[in-house]
Structure 1
Amino acid sequence: MSGPVSKRRRVARINGLGNSYKSRMEKCMDENEMIKKENSEKEEQVKSIVVVIAMVQKDLDSTKIIIDQVLKEKLEIKKRISWELEKEKRKVVRMKRERKKIRKKYVFNRQSLKKKEEIIRKMNEKVKELDTRIADSVVKFDDRMDRKTKVNRCERVIQSISNMLNDTDINTFLTFFLGYINDNSNYTPRWKLTPEETFLVKVRFGLTDSFFKKFRKFYYDRTGFELFSSRWSISNVQKTISIRDLYVVKARKVSKKAENGREYEKMTPFAVLKSIETILGERLSALSANEKLTFNDATGSDICVALGGDKGSEETKLFLALENVPKANDAHSLLLLGFYTGDDTYDSLKENFSHIFHQFNNLHKISYQVNGVTITRNVRRKIVGDIKFISSLYGHPGQASSNPCFLCNINYSNHGAKKATLTNLKFEDPVGSRSLADFPNALVNVPLEDICLAPLHSCQGIIQKYGINVLVGQAIKLDCANVCSDVGDTIESQQKTLKRLENEEYMYLERIKAVTESIHTVEEIIEGLRKIEKKQKKCKKTRKVCSSSYCIANVIGNEIYSNGDMYSCESCNKTFHTYCQGIATPEEKMKLDLNVSSKNCFECDESIPFTVRRRISEVEKQLEEQYRRLEEDKETWEVVTNEKECLTESMVKPTKGYGKKMDIP
């Protein structure tokens, strides 16, 4: 049995236990540190794993979204493919059905066609049988048949055609049938014009391209037919028959004079033939081919041509007339040699047509074709035209000269006291004749014996001047006797009277205008003086005043002020406004400018006080005088106007009296 432990041993045991516990504690602490270290490392690993897991989760989410989209698109594609397949299946089914229908329709139409062919064959046989049976009894369709019978036969024909076609509406067939008849040369009836006929219609009636196009469309829309040939075919016809290559055509500048006297340049056309022999030969060949080239006792076996010309409006034309035609006025007998803008004077003809005159002077023989054979004949040349044109061709000075005739040497005066008239000219006196040698500068070398004056124009001129004009002049004089005192016996004197009346009318109109303006100015002057007298006008003196005691420059209107002039009085040598001294008329102003006026100013004339009232009274007298002059001028103007209107009406277009009875143009 153990006894009580000593204190020392107990302490040692306690110390031993304490050290043991201490060593264990240190060991535990070391282990704890190691565990903490391991835990921290594991926490880091766990965190890394968590981050990786989060990233993986995110990738899984995006991948899921993509997978969902892909699945959705796959589903849509699958639906679309199924829809397209269904659509194609339906289309195939529909096509099969349509194919069956077409097959059935084809079989039906084929059977129907066979039936119609059989019906047409039977009808043809019946028609042939009927034609054979009634061939002798049918009346011939001609003009002896009345209209009702013709209409009935037409209706039977149309009905037969309709029965043959087995169609009640045969308009399409008739349209084609009429076109076939028109295009077939075996049948005479036609409704469409050939290109040549269309070109002739277009030129003959002056159809423009715009009208031609619109009318063709209008006619086709209404009838369904083309009346005219195409414009392309017309163009070909025009190119075929065109003779433009035979002429020199160009535009030239010509000096013209305006009404105000100013000269200006204007572009005008000019054309001249290249070769007379070429175009004359072609024309003779064409006339011979159409059996229109004739020879008679006058022409003999020669080709007779005449050179002629005339000025119409602003242009001068030169032509060649052929005598070997059945009718003198035949259009095929004329050939245009050229034209230009200007007068038919000697210098103008020489400048523009010297080339033509040279060819004409050397035209002695001409060749043309007759059935492929060349024929050559002599050419006999002549001159035709009015007296003025012929005088220009031969270089004659004209009918206004003292030797007016180009055929004889007669000499007389056209004016003055010795003016030749029908009563004093001795036509029976021998004067001698002229010859071609008397005109060394003539443009043509045709003898004067071969000049052909226009008899119709000569007769018209003589009758007009010495017959119709005399009667017309007397008719105008009688119609105007009650209005005009003396208008003259001849148209020339009446034209001069009309010109005089027109000038007088213009003069009186200008006088009335001037007097009216003077009255307006005088009234303004009186109004200004009254304002100064009553002191009603208080205005600034913006205008320069004159030496007058009562200057009205600042109380009158701008128009009167701007038209006013200044003048100096010869008595007092002071300068005044004209309106301040009551001077308003153009006559008084002109006298002041010419220094021929004896009027003194209001400031130095002893007979006139310097009061405003007296000035107003003096100006009012002038106003009365101007009104009196205005009334006189108006009365005179009315008389002149009535005379002019009466004479104008009688000369231009009479509506009553002797002029109406004579039907004066």
Structure 2
Amino acid sequence: MFRWRPFPIKKKANLEKLKLANDARAQKVKKRNEEIERENEEKQTTINTILVTMAILRADLAQMNSTVVSLRKNGTTLRKEIEEIEEKILRKEMEIEKLNKQKHFMRTEDSKRIRLIENQKSTIEESQKEIKNLIQDSPTSGRSLFSFDEVVDRKSKVLRCQLVINSIKKIIKSDEVDSFLRFFFQFLNDSSQYAFRYQLSEEETFFCKVRFHLPDTFFRLFKRFYRNVTGFDVFKSRHDIAKIGRNLSQSHNYEVLVQNVPTKCISGRTFEKKCPLVRITSLVEVLSSRLSTLAQHSRLLFNKSTGDCISVVLSGDKGGEETKIVLILENIDKPNNSKSHLLLGYYTGNDDFESLKKYLQPVFDQFNQLKQISYHDGTIVVTRAVKRKLVGDIKIMCTFYNHPGAQCLQSCFLCFISYSNHGVNMATCGAFPFDVSHGIRTLETYKQSGQPVWEKKFGLDYFVSLASQIDLKKYKFPDNIAMQKERLKELETEEEIYVKRIKVLCEDVDKLQDIKDSLLSFDTKKIRPDKRSMCSSKYCISKLVNKKINDVDSYQCGSCLEIFHYCCNAIVSMGEKARAQIISDSSLCFECSCADTLIEREKIVDIKINEVQRVIGEEETLWEEVDEEKGAIKKVVKKCGDAGSKSKQLDEMMNAIGCRNYSCSKNLTGNMTRKFLRKQSIDSIAGLFPASKKTEDVKKLLYSFERLMTLSNAELKSDEQLKEISDEVILVAGGL
């Protein structure tokens, strides 16, 4: 029989939970029933409404019979619409289902994106940390820098260079950047994208070799030395420039001979030195090539001076030991430019007529036969007549015309004027008849030659002498360069005389001192008498004196008529020796003056030594005065004086205008004259000196020389220009 037992506590709890669950479920069912009831009530209300509506429709059916047919027709349409609506509803439901799936998918993707964003955030944080580290490790630490072109001071540029070096070290992963920099500079030099380069091209290297006269040995040694020191090559290969030289060489148009030149060496021996003799062999061909090049580049000019002709000028000059003859082309923009001259020949020797004829006669023959020339202007061959001229300094012009020299009576190579350049009738600038014409020379009548009335340094010598006179005012220095040089020569001669006299007096002191020492050491017991060498002196010291200092010549005293050695009577000077031989002066003889003891003779020698030393002191004082004056003059004349002196200021001004070493040569060079005769240069130099009438006159005269120099060009002169030149010459003559 079943016995009831109380439920265990655990089961009791489970039942209570089950009961609560059933109650909760019942409540839900109850709520659902209530909802269903409300829905049913709503549906019932709807049904009732429909029934009422149907009742109303039945009531009104009679009235709507007329419209039934149409309603039936509309019924079909409504059914179709309902079907369509149902289809739309179905589609909407499908769309809703699709949207739900998309919503689920989007939620899934959103969670993925959130995880991706979190990963990206962590990555960005790590990147930011790395960027901070990179910024700290960067050369500029993240700072912005100015453009290098805007940097002015050197310190900032050096710092910028150091930043670049630090960056390079990090990029190449090494602290040794030399090898990289060498390759980098080579890369920049070879790259066409950058203007930077350190190496000259083949054409530039060839230009340097020709322009600066660099031998092949220099290229070889310098390239090796420079590459060993720097690791780079400045010049291109010698073979490349040699190839360019072969292509441009004109050696086939010249002949080079060996010239034996007599040369005198320092020892006076004469020997023959081998020197080159160069002469052009194809003047027409070389000139035609030059004209073709100029014409094709539109650089061949024609003006009033040249006309329609090709105007060529023969000129020459001696520089150092060599004489050069060149051809100047007047049909270019700057015919006087040395780089536009055509070398015809050169030799080692003087620029006299015989030497020119001996060495360069074939060149002159070609020049004399040059009547017309043909050249190619790029389209056609042009043939023009040649106009020949002679240009040069007076020396070369006299040589061209076979003039006998600059010392002849008719010294002008353009006219027949006669004047003397020395003696009482010497022509001077102030009295010379500049405005008088004396007939023009021609090639047929040309017999003589001449020289200009003034030298190139006229005017400059005045300022040089004036500066020296101002600097040496306390010495009453002359105001003429010739007299100043004469004064310096006189002082040098006077100084030489004083030096010789002091030297002789010092030798006399040494001789007297040696005689005194011999008298002090004289001992009669120790001297073996030798009548052959001893004189008549009581104390003959001929064996005791130093033979290298004192001589042991003898003489006869005019008073006692005895024979004595000069040294035994303490006679050392030439004057005393002459007096002792000619005049009977007992004071020169110890025996005659009763100087019987050694002590008395020593005292006389001491007196002579003191007297000679006094004279030496006087001579030294005079020599010091002469030497001081000579040194001051030489310092001013030779070395332009101290800083701040007029001579130094003049020298600095001459160097500033381009007249260096103006005082080394006899005359100024052509370039120095051109730079000196400029109004600005003349005013600057004259402004260094105190204003005076003579300075103003010299300045005006130099102005006239400047205008004459400006007018003395190669162009064809008009009547107005000739009149202007004539007026300037008259003005110069009046000023002189």
Q: So what's the TM-score if we normalise by structure 1?
A: 0.61
Task: Provide, for residues 247-280 of structure 1, a one-character-per-residue CA deviation record: whole Å limited to 9, x for no partner.
Answer: 324252323375x8x3533626332313233433
Instruction: Report the alpha carbon displacement of residue 545 of structure 1 after superposing the two structures with TM.
Output: 3.5
The equivalent of 2:95 in structure 1 is: none
Distance in 2 of aligned mates of 1:372 and 1:540: 116
The equivalent of 2:537 in structure 1 is: 548
Q: Note if 1:340 corresponds to 2:320.
A: no
SS of 2:420's equivalent?
A: coil
Unaligned runs of 5+ residues in structure 2 are: 1-146, 150-159, 172-176, 655-736
One-letter amino acid matched to 1:255: T
Q: How many residues align?
A: 480
Cα distance change of structure 1 residues 247 and 496 upon mapping to structure 2, 3 Å threshold: farther
The equivalent of 2:487 in structure 1 is: 497
The equivalent of 2:465 in structure 1 is: 473
Distance in 2 of aligned mates of 1:255 and 1:590: 49
Unaligned runs of 5+ residues in structure 1 are: 1-145, 163-168, 443-447
SS of 1:254's equivalent?
A: strand
- Report percent identity of matched pairs: 34
The equivalent of 2:279 in structure 1 is: 273
1:255 aligned to which of 263, 278, 295: 263
Instruction: Report the alpha carbon displacement of residue 551 of structure 1 after superposing the two structures with TM.
Output: 2.1
Contact between 1:543 and 1:554, CA under 8 Å: does it hold in 2? no
Contact between 1:531 and 1:537, CA under 8 Å: does it hold in 2? no
SS of 1:627's equivalent?
A: helix
Distance in 2 of aligned mates of 1:345 and 1:618: 70
Q: Report matched runs for 1:416-435 at 5 Å.
A: 416-435=423-442
Distance in 1 of aligned mates of 2:365 and 2:575: 66
SS of 2:548's equivalent?
A: helix
The equivalent of 1:580 in structure 2 is: 568
Q: Note if 1:287 corresponds to 2:294.
A: yes
SS of 2:331's equivalent?
A: coil
Task: Provide, for residues 180-199 of structure 1, a one-character-per-residue CA deviation record: whole Å limited to 9, x for no partner.
Answer: 99489xx8979564422222
SS of 2:517's equivalent?
A: helix
Cα distance change of structure 1 residues 256 and 415 upon mapping to structure 2, 3 Å threshold: same
Per mean C-alpha deviation after superposition, the further-off stretch among 602-611 and 195-204 is 602-611
Contact between 2:322 and 2:350, CA under 8 Å: does it hold in 1? yes
Contact between 2:466 and 2:479, CA under 8 Å: does it hold in 1? yes
The equivalent of 2:622 in structure 1 is: 636
Cα distance change of structure 1 residues 507 and 397 upon mapping to structure 2, 3 Å threshold: farther
Q: So what's the TM-score if we normalise by structure 2?
A: 0.56
Distance in 2 of aligned mates of 1:350 and 1:591: 67
SS of 1:405's equivalent?
A: coil
Contact between 1:182 and 1:189, CA under 8 Å: does it hold in 2? no
Instruction: Report the alpha carbon displacement of residue 237 of structure 1 after superposing the two structures with TM.
Output: 2.1
Task: Provide, for residues 150-190 of structure 1, a one-character-per-residue CA deviation record: whole Å limited to 9, x for no partner.
Answer: x9xxx9xxx9xx9xxxxxx9x99x96998699489xx8979
Distance in 1 of aligned mates of 2:250 and 2:260: 21
Task: Provide, for residues 323-352 of structure 1, a one-character-per-residue CA deviation record: whole Å limited to 9, x for no partner.
Answer: 121223334421223333333333443443
Q: CA RMSD in A?
A: 4.4
Contact between 1:603 and 1:610, CA under 8 Å: does it hold in 2? no
SS of 1:292's equivalent?
A: coil
Contact between 1:602 and 1:610, CA under 8 Å: does it hold in 2? no
1:364 aligned to which of 371, 387, 402: 371
Distance in 1 of aligned mates of 2:357 and 2:236: 45
Per mean C-alpha deviation after superposition, the further-off stretch among 396-405 and 598-607 is 598-607
Q: Report matched runs for 1:458-537 at 5 Å.
A: 461=455, 464-465=457-458, 467-482=459-474, 484-485=475-476, 487-532=477-522
Contact between 1:268 and 1:341, CA under 8 Å: does it hold in 2? no
Task: Provide, for residues 200-250 of structure 1, a one-character-per-residue CA deviation record: whole Å limited to 9, x for no partner.
Answer: 233435556566446656776799875542222222222332334413242
One-letter amino acid matched to 1:654: G
Contact between 2:510 and 2:549, CA under 8 Å: does it hold in 1? no
Cα distance change of structure 1 residues 341 and 216 upon mapping to structure 2, 3 Å threshold: closer
The equivalent of 1:646 in structure 2 is: 632
Instruction: Report the alpha carbon displacement of residue 425 of structure 1 after superposing the two structures with TM.
Output: 3.0
1:662 aligned to which of 650, 658, 673: 650
One-letter amino acid matched to 2:365: H
Distance in 1 of aligned mates of 2:531 and 2:289: 89
Per mean C-alpha deviation after superposition, the further-off stretch among 230-239 and 396-405 is 396-405
Cα distance change of structure 1 residues 426 and 591 upon mapping to structure 2, 3 Å threshold: farther
SS of 2:521's equivalent?
A: helix
Instruction: Report the alpha carbon displacement of residue 494 of structure 1 after superposing the two structures with TM.
Output: 0.8
The equivalent of 1:299 in structure 2 is: 306
The equivalent of 2:120 in structure 1 is: none
The equivalent of 2:549 in structure 1 is: 560
Cα distance change of structure 1 residues 274 and 586 upon mapping to structure 2, 3 Å threshold: farther
Distance in 2 of aligned mates of 1:177 and 1:501: 65
Instruction: Report the alpha carbon displacement of residue 290 of structure 1 after superposing the two structures with TM.
Output: 3.9
Instruction: Report the alpha carbon displacement of residue 634 of structure 1 after superposing the two structures with TM.
Output: 0.9
Cα distance change of structure 1 residues 579 and 224 upon mapping to structure 2, 3 Å threshold: closer
Cα distance change of structure 1 residues 205 and 435 upon mapping to structure 2, 3 Å threshold: closer
Distance in 2 of aligned mates of 1:211 and 1:220: 14
The equivalent of 1:400 in structure 2 is: 407
Contact between 2:535 and 2:563, CA under 8 Å: does it hold in 1? yes
Cα distance change of structure 1 residues 219 and 398 upon mapping to structure 2, 3 Å threshold: closer
Distance in 1 of aligned mates of 2:575 and 2:214: 63
One-letter amino acid matched to 1:631: G
SS of 1:436's equivalent?
A: coil
Cα distance change of structure 1 residues 304 and 600 upon mapping to structure 2, 3 Å threshold: farther
Instruction: Report the alpha carbon displacement of residue 415 of structure 1 after superposing the two structures with TM.
Output: 2.5
Instruction: Report the alpha carbon displacement of residue 385 of structure 1 after superposing the two structures with TM.
Output: 1.4
Cα distance change of structure 1 residues 545 and 423 upon mapping to structure 2, 3 Å threshold: same
